[in-house]
Structure 1
Amino acid sequence: MGGALSLLEKWLSARELLVVGKRVTRVDSLEKALGKAMFTEDYFIDYFMGNALYVKQVLSTHPHARLKGISLPDALKGKGVRLITARDIPGENQVGYSLPDQPLLAEGKVRYHGEVVALVASTSLDDALRAVEEVRVDYEPLPYVLDPLEAMARSDVLVHEEAGSNIAFRTRVRRGSVEEGFSRAHVVVENEYRLHHQEHAYLETEAALAIPSMENGVTVIGGLQYPHLGQRIVARVLGLPSSRVKIIAPYVGGGFGGKDDEGPLTCAKAALVAYLTGKPALLVYSREESMRIHPKREAAIIRYKSGADSEGRLTAIEVTIIHDTGAYANRGPFILWRATMHASGPYIVPNAKVDGYAVYTNKVYQGSFRGFGNLSIQFAVERQMDQLAEKLGLDPVEFRLRNIVREGSHTITGQLLDHSVGVAEALKRVAEASRWRERRREIEEYNKSGGRFKRGIGVAVAWHGISTSRGVPDWSNAYVKIEQDGSVTLYTGIVEIGQGSPSSAHVQIVSELLGVTPDRVRVVHGSTDAPDAGATHASRGSSIGGIGVYMAAAVLRERLAGLASRIMGVPVEDLVFAGNKVYSRNNPDKQLQLRDLVKEAVARGVELSATGYFFLPKGRFDDSTGQGFAYPAYSYMVVVSEVEVDTLTGVVKVTRVYPGLAAGRVINPVQVEGQIEGAIAQGIGYTLMERLVFDEKGALINVNLTDYVVPSMRDMPEVAEPVYVEDLFKYGPFGAKGVGEMALIPMPASIANAVSHALGVNVTETPLTPEKVLKAMGRL
């Protein structure tokens, strides 16, 4: 670890970076703009159409029922249609992520309306679709429970009998004495918040193309966010060694976490058909299937009590978090754990009591979604902060600054924040950029006119632990080789889901260290042929995923620098690698073309390939008290939003957003701006319009993008130039931390605080649909 740390520290505070931090065009831009980028279904169209089976899924029509039998009509059998059920699985019918509670295909009973009970496959798409309608499933209906509060209280209706309870998982934090903390409080605020499910609504639905191999294995091309996880799940289902399973994630048309959960299962279902039939098999979800089957953002009930003293310092919080985890635990325990550990927000709280419950219900289960449990809890935190400030007669920004974490602060889990804590500066700079105090006064004067439209301005601050949580292992791994012409090939397991990690940030890291221009770097990403770099989630693609790239390229830089120093007679520290050449900083005329240096390396036996591996240091955590090390670092986000509310219709429009980010080194400002703007759009959608509607049996009824409303360009506000605070992370490549989830997390709270400011109402529920706004105003 010592050598690895020295390489990471070497360029941490470098001031003369030539590529990192610059507005570099993504290497995949032209390919995507010209329509040449290959997604899963493109491989089928180009290479397998007419020679593959179409796979479709038979979904449960009951929320809770025993499976008595499944059969296919003889007429369809005669057409060669194949029916595959749980009994056909050659390996293990178990795909549970955090708990072993979930089958790939329903076995014994179904637990939610839309659960996959069987697969059908045919060379004719029409016959496959007909088979879905005509497969006979014999159900014995069972009592079901849809409300998490009811599910917690009942023992007569259990989603999983073997669990003995509908509580799938519990979390807790205990710090100090909340009784003492509240006794010292000058003001106390207590609310119950209710936040809703959200659909990922990615443009490309789930898809996988499986091809049986000659070695009694299978290759799967599929849309997923962690090829090596897909490999393990497919191998388990087929009963094969992982070495017989190859997974390739091509370009993926959006993920947001949803394809981290459902992607491996999609691959496993396609692989199962290909393995059993010996033929290529294509599974593409329809939009309806996608929305009915795949996991959603958690719905949450949060009971939050907080207190502050007369000086405006937080004294205590007491929080209960209840997540509707749905039919299967999936990543629910990890989502709940993150929410629990972030329950204070980025503030110093000396006394905390937090309890979390992930509760089984007979509904589609919850799963990974951008923000991963943190969006809902930060909503509650930031609504509490505004109300405490109001009771104390303090400006909301000033109140936050009195309590904000800084270097040397401790979190509610007792973790010392010893570096990389730039949130206070980010809050100050966003307040200045937005003219916070002036705009607040101007808006309040405007609202006194008594007109139909009211305006408001709201601030929200969020933090987000980077990497996987507590002691869960996290690592980074990549392979870099320099070709004999001086170009570079990079292999990484990180997936390109639109975020740009491998196609921009990783390329810039290689380019910075080896001096090769970005156009001469080729990235092989998202394949099990590449080293296992961990999942493309948790805002770790560029940051944690980039560490392995950095380590591999740094090793090659050291080798080439040593060789160049000997050839040129220039000290290593005087060498500059840039523009496909190496030259002396003090005498630029003394230079070598990179391709010539590489030829010398080949002639002199200098190895031109390297694997970069880094195991992220983590500390201990005590689950019984919720105390200890939670995350290696935190990224921070500040958002100020301005809104206009039509008091006649209840329609809320976000008019302007001021974002600020403290996420270490900004590797590519263009990429970060794209992440921020996309997250703002997604946050507006979640807060104002997106909602999933369930019927009395737990069936989703708005399973298309007509009835499930997502924001369009017309809903986008003016977005100010982002404020960046580069609070360098000692383990990040060039000091980078995660970015992808940050802007989304505080958006709902920022909007809600602005609406509250506009109308003088207490916003405690999402989404803020016109009906809810009018109801809050007493108009309904």
Structure 2
Amino acid sequence: MEIVGSSKIRKDAFDKVTGRAKFVDDYKRDDILYAVTFRSPRPHIKIISINTKEAEKIEGVVGVFTYKDIPGVNKVPIVFDDYPFLAENTCKFYGQPIALVVAVSKEIARKALKKIKLKYKELPAVFDPLEAMKKDAPKIYGKDNVFRTYKIRKGDINRGFKEADVVIERTYRTNYQVHSYLETQGMLAEPSVDGSITVYGSMQCPFYVLDAVSNILGIPQSKIRVVQTTTGGAFGGKEDVPSIVAGHTALCSFLTNRPVKLIYTREEDFDSMSKRHPGWINIKIGAKRNGKITAIKVKYVLDAGAFATLSPIVLWRGTVHSTGPYDIENVWVDSFAVATNKVPCGAFRGFGQPQANFANESIIDELAHELKMSPLELRRKNFLATGKKTATGHLIRVSCGLKKVVDEITRVSNFEKKWKEPQNKKGRIRRGIGIATSFYGVGLGAEGKFLEKAGAHVQIFKDGSVLVAVGNTEMGQGAFTVLTQIAAEILGAPYEVVNIVEPDTTRIPDSGPTVASRTTVMSGNAIIDACKILRKRIDEVVRDILGVRGKVISKNGYYYVSGKRISYFDAVKECYNKRIKMAEQGFYKVTGPTFDRKTGMGNAYFTYTYSCMVAEVEVDIELGTVKILRFYSGHDIGKAVNPVLAEGQIEGGAIQGIGYALYENVVLEEGRIITNNFTDYIIPTVRDIPGDIKVVIVEEKYPEGPYGAKGLGEPPLIAVAPAIANAIFNAAGKRIRSLPILTEKIVFQE
């Protein structure tokens, strides 16, 4: 291989560094209008009346729209379909959209907002998921405020605890995390004379947006065009919620018959857009004196907010992974996604796993402390490996590089020599080292398998240039570069002549959502499916031209057969001369996975990425400050299609995980976020990250992946927080069981 496995320059690099890339707010139209959103002023209200007359009188206001103006269905199409585009009779969280104001300028639209008169009755609210689960709690959803529950039952949990020599039980909590993308949510919609509409915007999943716009307008999807503009960060935050923003923008454009732009302010984005779910996790774990874990029991609760959105699927992933990358015979897990009167939570890099992993990897260290055993030794005694089973009973048959990753990370970090029991530390400034591991089911898994497919269209033009159409998006992760490399490798084409079609639902097949670290495997395989057919046709023409039979080898822009060669470009021209079909469709879907909701058993995912992280910290026990000295992050990703991009993903995940662990703290008062900007909500800056982030890549090939590749996007964040928490305990002897680990928690010990 000459292209796959090499660090090619990103396809989008030049446009972004030169400023040529156009974000949605860069799109201009002569007769454009601007929309703003009127929102609920309280966390739970009954709407008695809304008076928009004074707002409509303001010069420059074109319209004020409520749910009554929606020609289609007033539901965002996602999982439960319980979230209205615009509130009807009640609002369930502060900031829930009620009405849309459209005007000739943003300033006029915002002025009109203040003239809307809302008469309402305040209703009882509940903000804690554990309180919401009580019988006498205010009802937000159903009879019990529980959107979804899952369970896992493996082995005999009572027997497992009886066999244990040591049993401990702990409770852990995690807070929200904000995506902190640089570009806030934004959309532009414009109508056409034929009654169709085009939506441009910052998004991860154009076909989700297509569904939403069709729903709210009540028009066929064939009359809607959705185009992803250059997207300034996402991390899951532009998976489901852009459907709301797009629906609002499209509605305003449809009703005014003019282009409409809707761009959120930073505060508005904080207040109303999805976040990482806060989590409450109780774990009971038992082990023999020799370190073999005999049983684990988990209760996992996610604070879903006012509407379900993606919470059921987030909960499921967290449930499946809640016992960690360990071979444990007896498992009992109960999990709950619970409604509260707060902003709905949704997708965020890791998708329910960082919460569970923080708890699981913390209690593993706590168990090691009770056993007077090295945390590394305890983990090694219980790791998953080929021939072992996950908590759901999934037998691991191939591509399990966990041991290799751990061995390499602990070697480069010198973990075993640096780790010492915390009680031996003295002085105000103390240093420590911590370890954490994780595994990550690639793709959407059994609960999302109806979306687990991908289409691709590949066309080779007469001049040799290649256009690849897939339904995925580029949001900074380098997906289009990786997919280009895969196509170029198969075809034998120079990397420079292969390009990806911009995401446009009228030009691309549906390849499923760009989520769950699935793009390389799913769309990569769909591209391979199409390219193999094209390459077979090219090879036949090459053999005919060169007058020899045998295997055709491609290298450096040439095809070689038995010592003879022809350039890629000449071969393509000959294919056209011979009237060979030079465009092809590709498709890929996975077989399985499976999950039995009654028992929690099944092959939950088609493969797993395995990770190990080590943090070295310096703790000031008087001030409570934590400095990350060095961070080590290792991953078995099957095959690094582009090593530099893989390293970038890993480094970025480490930094985002450091923020989750130490800094990022959402504070609410009666359901309202009061830290709704980057002055109050702290994310890591260059001063807060270690100068040395050591990346380790292990390639334990997955036979069904493109050139053996697995997913990478999300694993680099998952185990960061527990590695840091374990390092803090190792340094200062203080076990912090909630995130973020703020300075006051260290000083005053929770």
Question: Which of 664, 674, 694 is equivalent to 1:701?
Answer: 674
> Corresponding residue for 1:70?
50
What is the deviation of 1:28? 1.2
In the alignment, the residues of structure 1 paired with residue 495 and residue 121 of structure 2 have an alpha-carbon distance, to the nearest angstrom, of: 60
What is the deviation of 1:198? 0.7
> Corresponding residue for 2:93?
112
Question: Which of 616, 620, 632 is equivalent to 1:642?
Answer: 616
What is the deviation of 1:381? 1.0
> Corresponding residue for 2:198?
219
- In structure 2, relative to structure 1, the CA distance for the partners of 1:302 and 1:579 (3 Å cut) is same
What is the deviation of 1:78? 4.8
Q: SS state of the match for residue 717, structure 2?
A: coil
Q: SS state of the match for residue 560, structure 2?
A: strand
Q: SS state of the match for residue 279, structure 2?
A: strand
- Shifted more, 390-399 versus 32-41: the winner is 390-399
> Corresponding residue for 1:178?
157
In the alignment, the residues of structure 1 paired with residue 550 and residue 721 of structure 2 have an alpha-carbon distance, to the nearest angstrom, of: 51
In the alignment, the residues of structure 2 paired with residue 42 and residue 156 of structure 1 have an alpha-carbon distance, to the nearest angstrom, of: 47
What is the deviation of 1:533? 0.8
In the alignment, the residues of structure 2 paired with residue 748 and residue 648 of structure 1 have an alpha-carbon distance, to the nearest angstrom, of: 22
1:613 partnered with 2:587: yes
In the alignment, the residues of structure 1 paired with residue 704 and residue 544 of structure 2 have an alpha-carbon distance, to the nearest angstrom, of: 31
1:361 partnered with 2:340: yes
- In structure 2, relative to structure 1, the CA distance for the partners of 1:762 and 1:482 (3 Å cut) is same
> Corresponding residue for 2:115?
134
The letter of the residue matching 1:216 is G
Q: SS state of the match for residue 743, structure 1?
A: helix
- Shifted more, 394-403 versus 562-571: the winner is 562-571
> Corresponding residue for 2:6?
22
In the alignment, the residues of structure 2 paired with residue 576 and residue 37 of structure 1 have an alpha-carbon distance, to the nearest angstrom, of: 37
In the alignment, the residues of structure 2 paired with residue 296 and residue 380 of structure 1 have an alpha-carbon distance, to the nearest angstrom, of: 19
What is the deviation of 1:316? 0.5
Q: SS state of the match for residue 361, structure 2?
A: helix
> Corresponding residue for 1:460?
436
1:392 partnered with 2:371: yes
1:51 partnered with 2:35: no
- Shifted more, 554-563 versus 196-205: the winner is 554-563
The answer to whether the Cα contact below 8 Å between 1:27 and 1:518 also exists between their aligned partners in 2 is: no
> Corresponding residue for 1:774?
747
1:241 partnered with 2:220: yes
What is the deviation of 1:156? 5.2
The answer to whether the Cα contact below 8 Å between 1:155 and 1:166 also exists between their aligned partners in 2 is: no
What is the deviation of 1:158? 0.6
What is the deviation of 1:453? 0.5
> Corresponding residue for 1:691?
665
Q: SS state of the match for residue 718, structure 2?
A: coil
The answer to whether the Cα contact below 8 Å between 2:23 and 2:232 also exists between their aligned partners in 1 is: yes
Could you give the per-residue CA deviations for residues 495-544 of structure 1, whole angstroms, max 9, x where no partner exists?
11110101x10111111111222221121132212011111110112222
The answer to whether the Cα contact below 8 Å between 1:297 and 1:367 also exists between their aligned partners in 2 is: yes
The letter of the residue matching 2:619 is V
The answer to whether the Cα contact below 8 Å between 2:55 and 2:112 also exists between their aligned partners in 1 is: no
> Corresponding residue for 1:535?
513
> Corresponding residue for 2:294?
315
In the alignment, the residues of structure 2 paired with residue 526 and residue 139 of structure 1 have an alpha-carbon distance, to the nearest angstrom, of: 42
Could you give the per-residue CA deviations for residues 404-437 of structure 1, whole angstroms, max 9, x where no partner exists?
1111111111111111111111111111111111
What is the deviation of 1:76? 3.9
Q: SS state of the match for residue 188, structure 2?
A: strand
In the alignment, the residues of structure 1 paired with residue 212 and residue 504 of structure 2 have an alpha-carbon distance, to the nearest angstrom, of: 15
Q: SS state of the match for residue 260, structure 1?
A: coil
In the alignment, the residues of structure 1 paired with residue 555 and residue 513 of structure 2 have an alpha-carbon distance, to the nearest angstrom, of: 31
* TM alignment of 1:685-764, pairs within 5 A: 685-695=659-669, 697-764=670-737
- In structure 2, relative to structure 1, the CA distance for the partners of 1:619 and 1:707 (3 Å cut) is closer
Could you give the per-residue CA deviations for residues 124-143 of structure 1, whole angstroms, max 9, x where no partner exists?
22110111222111111111
- In structure 2, relative to structure 1, the CA distance for the partners of 1:291 and 1:680 (3 Å cut) is same
Question: Which of 87, 95, 120 is equivalent to 2:76?
Answer: 95
The letter of the residue matching 1:556 is L
> Corresponding residue for 2:393?
414
* TM alignment of 1:147-186, pairs within 5 A: 147-155=128-136, 157-160=138-141, 163-186=142-165
In the alignment, the residues of structure 2 paired with residue 576 and residue 536 of structure 1 have an alpha-carbon distance, to the nearest angstrom, of: 33
In the alignment, the residues of structure 1 paired with residue 309 and residue 549 of structure 2 have an alpha-carbon distance, to the nearest angstrom, of: 55
Question: Which of 234, 257, 273 is equivalent to 2:252?
Answer: 273
What is the deviation of 1:572? 4.5
What is the deviation of 1:460? 0.4
> RMSD across aligned C-alpha pairs, in angstroms?
1.5
Could you give the per-residue CA deviations for residues 622-650 of structure 1, whole angstroms, max 9, x where no partner exists?
10111112001111111000000011210
In the alignment, the residues of structure 2 paired with residue 31 and residue 518 of structure 1 have an alpha-carbon distance, to the nearest angstrom, of: 17
In the alignment, the residues of structure 1 paired with residue 302 and residue 19 of structure 2 have an alpha-carbon distance, to the nearest angstrom, of: 41
> Corresponding residue for 2:477?
499
Question: Which of 481, 489, 495 is equivalent to 1:518?
Answer: 495
In the alignment, the residues of structure 1 paired with residue 509 and residue 103 of structure 2 have an alpha-carbon distance, to the nearest angstrom, of: 36
Instruction: In structure 1, list runs of 5 or more residues that go unmatched.
Output: 1-16
Q: SS state of the match for residue 133, structure 2?
A: helix
The answer to whether the Cα contact below 8 Å between 1:475 and 1:613 also exists between their aligned partners in 2 is: yes
- In structure 2, relative to structure 1, the CA distance for the partners of 1:296 and 1:351 (3 Å cut) is same
1:595 partnered with 2:569: yes
> Corresponding residue for 1:4?
none
Instruction: In structure 2, list runs of 5 or more residues that go unmatched.
Output: none
In the alignment, the residues of structure 2 paired with residue 156 and residue 399 of structure 1 have an alpha-carbon distance, to the nearest angstrom, of: 42
The answer to whether the Cα contact below 8 Å between 2:208 and 2:240 also exists between their aligned partners in 1 is: no
Q: SS state of the match for residue 104, structure 1?
A: coil
> Corresponding residue for 2:229?
250
The letter of the residue matching 1:319 is V
In the alignment, the residues of structure 2 paired with residue 526 and residue 388 of structure 1 have an alpha-carbon distance, to the nearest angstrom, of: 49
The answer to whether the Cα contact below 8 Å between 1:517 and 1:578 also exists between their aligned partners in 2 is: no
Q: SS state of the match for residue 679, structure 1?
A: helix
Q: SS state of the match for residue 501, structure 2?
A: strand
- In structure 2, relative to structure 1, the CA distance for the partners of 1:125 and 1:720 (3 Å cut) is closer
> Corresponding residue for 1:559?
537
In the alignment, the residues of structure 1 paired with residue 136 and residue 502 of structure 2 have an alpha-carbon distance, to the nearest angstrom, of: 47
In the alignment, the residues of structure 2 paired with residue 26 and residue 620 of structure 1 have an alpha-carbon distance, to the nearest angstrom, of: 36
The answer to whether the Cα contact below 8 Å between 1:333 and 1:358 also exists between their aligned partners in 2 is: yes
What is the deviation of 1:155? 4.1
- Shifted more, 96-105 versus 181-190: the winner is 96-105
> Corresponding residue for 1:196?
175
In the alignment, the residues of structure 1 paired with residue 169 and residue 503 of structure 2 have an alpha-carbon distance, to the nearest angstrom, of: 46
Q: SS state of the match for residue 668, structure 2?
A: coil
> Corresponding residue for 1:681?
655
Could you give the per-residue CA deviations for residues 325-359 of structure 1, whole angstroms, max 9, x where no partner exists?
11001111111111111111010010011000111
The letter of the residue matching 1:131 is A
The letter of the residue matching 1:139 is Y
Q: SS state of the match for residue 337, structure 2?
A: strand
The letter of the residue matching 1:355 is D
In the alignment, the residues of structure 1 paired with residue 55 and residue 145 of structure 2 have an alpha-carbon distance, to the nearest angstrom, of: 42
- In structure 2, relative to structure 1, the CA distance for the partners of 1:27 and 1:156 (3 Å cut) is closer
> Corresponding residue for 1:36?
20
- Shifted more, 139-148 versus 464-473: the winner is 464-473
In the alignment, the residues of structure 2 paired with residue 457 and residue 211 of structure 1 have an alpha-carbon distance, to the nearest angstrom, of: 55
1:348 partnered with 2:327: yes
In the alignment, the residues of structure 2 paired with residue 550 and residue 43 of structure 1 have an alpha-carbon distance, to the nearest angstrom, of: 35
What is the deviation of 1:731? 2.0
- % identical aligned pairs: 37
In the alignment, the residues of structure 2 paired with residue 564 and residue 410 of structure 1 have an alpha-carbon distance, to the nearest angstrom, of: 48
The answer to whether the Cα contact below 8 Å between 1:52 and 1:123 also exists between their aligned partners in 2 is: yes
In the alignment, the residues of structure 1 paired with residue 458 and residue 588 of structure 2 have an alpha-carbon distance, to the nearest angstrom, of: 14
Question: Which of 624, 627, 632 is equivalent to 2:601?
Answer: 627
Question: Which of 463, 469, 488 is equivalent to 2:445?
Answer: 469
Could you give the per-residue CA deviations for residues 576-616 of structure 1, whole angstroms, max 9, x where no partner exists?
223332123x52xx211222111211122211111110111
What is the deviation of 1:230? 0.7
> Corresponding residue for 1:326?
305
What is the deviation of 1:194? 0.6
Question: Which of 655, 659, 667 is equivalent to 2:641?
Answer: 667
The letter of the residue matching 2:486 is I
